[in-house]
Amino acid sequence: MVSLNKYVKYTILIIIVLVVAIPFSGSYSVQSIDDLAYLVALGFDKR
């Protein structure tokens, strides 16, 4: 028979994993990659 203490440990472990994984999922972002602009190169000419 499995003790109650083992269920409590598994429950706490699952809660910790969910709390850590949800913020890093990135699925809550509504900004598309097409809306973002990245600076690729910057050049200066000296005359």
Structural domain containing residue 15: 1-25
1 falls within a domain: yes
Between CA 14 and CA 8 the distance in angstroms is: 10
pLDDT for the residue numbered 26: 65
pLDDT for the residue numbered 14: 94
46 falls within a domain: no
2 falls within a domain: yes
- The per-residue pLDDT for range 8-42, each reduced to its tens digit, is 999 999 999 998 887 777 655 566 666 667 767 77
9 falls within a domain: yes
Between CA 4 and CA 22 the distance in angstroms is: 27
pLDDT for the residue numbered 33: 63
pTM check: above 0.75? no
Regarding predicted confidence, which is higher, 6 or 42? Answer: 6
pLDDT tops 60 at residue 7: yes
